[in-house]
Amino acid sequence: MSSGTPSGKLRLLAGTAALGLLVAGCGSQGSQGSQGDAAGSGASADGKITLTLNLFGNMGFKELYAEYEAAHPNIKIVERTSAYNDHHRNLAAHLATKQGAADIEGVDTGFIAQFRGQPQHFTDLNQHGAAQLKDRWLPWKWEASLAKNGAQIGYGTDVGGLAMCYRRDLFAKAGLPTEREEVSKLWPDWASYFEAGEKYTANKPEGAAFFDGAPQIFNAMVGQLPVGYYDTSDQVVVATNPEIRKAYDQALAAVAGGQSAKLVGSSPAWNTGFAKSQFATIACPAWMLAKIQDQAKAFAGQWDVAAIPGGGGNWGGSYLTVPAQGKHIKEAVELAAWLTAPEQQIKVFSKHGILPSTVATYDKPEVKDLTHEFFNDAPIGQIFTTAARNLKPQYQGPRAGDIQTAIRDGMNRVEEGKQNPDQAWEQILKDIERIDR
């Protein structure tokens, strides 16, 4: 999963030397412990092996650990989570210094190309039977974590097929349709979406903007493009891809029109925004359903799921990797394979709405026929499996995650009133040049 929109400032790391300098400050992960502790995982006094997972956001695994531990009484599982950018920055540092990584590390689709370029730091899952499991996954999902030397560094968890989540009650108060079919008809494309936003904004309930924040809407728009931040030769094309600038301008024009709540995705303020009804729509890759449920508990049944403007697209999706520095490689590989197996992906989807990347699950009644009470009984199985089957994967270059962060930070500067769109764009391009050196 992307399992989340990036939060916090991501320092742009020029290379291994810079990563090494970070290691002293990368251990802290808040109340759940440090990634530095992960390196010390091993057999406890009772003879159990502790396997640590470093993840970001809610990937839906917590309910599965007790089941695995019951079937493997010699295993104890500890999950640690941190913010999206912090997690990937810390992982890069731990790989560079060859110490401190967990037994299993989650990697988002925006960073998988960067890490597959460093296969020496990861266990080659093909050496542990991965090749026999290949057909579990959508072909492009399998290939995205495959290194040039043929090593497979990760097992796919979810994919981020796109929809649009919205608040029925807020739409009703603003005089907009509330039924998902009619709502979907409001926005066949992004221009129509922002036109609907103008109508909503003219009659909006007090304190409730049309969408959460410009970078989140922008990410969904970019996720639909045939070409994103890179071409297939790993050349950064942000400055020369007119569709990127078009999406940027459209989103920020809506900000100028008062449609944005100006919230940074996955920030504490963004979490509070759900609870305080500060926005009525949010770009909704499948993994976003879990975040909405976590943060908007008081509004079960008021959230619903409509089609995404423009149709199709992907935002996010993740992988489980096994760093080569781990002390329990065999056990970690087995756990990673089990957590990403079709049976477990079905359980995660049923509980959290996080869409499987294992294609055989899409024909299972418990997936394709799934409705979700929290989202007004929306047919999320039909919505998201259709999106997953139809999406055309966008090529992800080695620093796609960092580039996304640079653009997000620039858009945030506009929303904060620190720069105008042209000034922010100019700085974004300079930041991307530094990333691409």
Whether the predicted pLDDT of 179 surpasses 90? yes
| pLDDT one-digit tens code per residue, 238-260 | 999 999 999 999 999 999 999 99
In a domain, 385, yes or no: no
Tokens coding 8: 């916090």
pLDDT, the chain, mean? 89
Token look-up 């989202």 returns: 375
Measure the CA–CA gap between 111 and 318, rounded to whole angstroms: 9
297 and 340, same domain (yes or no): no
**Type of residue at 74:** N
Residue range 98-134, pLDDT digits in tens: 999 999 999 999 899 999 999 999 999 999 999 999 9
Instruction: State whether 46 and 155 are in the same domain.
Output: yes
Band of pLDDT at residue 358, cut at 50, 70 and 90: very high
Angle at 321 between CA 315 and CA 325, to 5 degrees: 145
Is residue 8 predicted with pLDDT exceeding 60? no
CB 50 within 8 A of CB 44: yes
Local structure of 46: helix, strand or coil: coil
pLDDT exceeding 70 applies to what percent of the chain?
90
Percent of the chain topping pLDDT 90 = 81
Is residue 304 located within the same domain as residue 417? yes
Residues 321 and 304 reside in one and the same domain: no
Instruction: Go through the chain and tell me how many residues it has.
Output: 437
Q: What is the largest CA-CA distance in the chain?
A: 65
Span 152-174, average pLDDT: 96
**Do both 169 and 120 map to the same domain?**
no
Task: Give Cα separations from 3 to 59, 84, 110, 118, 158 (angstroms).
Answer: 7, 8, 10, 22, 9
Distance of alpha carbon 75 from alpha carbon 53, whole angstroms: 13
Statement to judge: residues 97 and 152 lie in one domain: yes
Q: Give the pLDDT mean for 346-374.
A: 94
The parent domain of residue 225 ranges over: 162-313+394-435
- Give 29's contacts (C-beta < 8 A, 6+ positions apart): 35, 54, 80, 81, 82, 86, 90
Q: Is 90's pLDDT higher than 60? A: yes
In one-letter notation, the amino acid at residue 10 is L
Tokens linked to 292: 């909405």
Q: How many domains does the chain have?
A: 2
Q: Are 369 and 381 in contact (CB under 8 A)?
A: yes
* CA distance readout (Å), 324 to 75, 122, 296, 372: 19, 4, 39, 39
pLDDT value of residue 68? 98
Residue 70: per-residue pLDDT: 97
pLDDT interval class at 277 (50, 70, 90):
very high
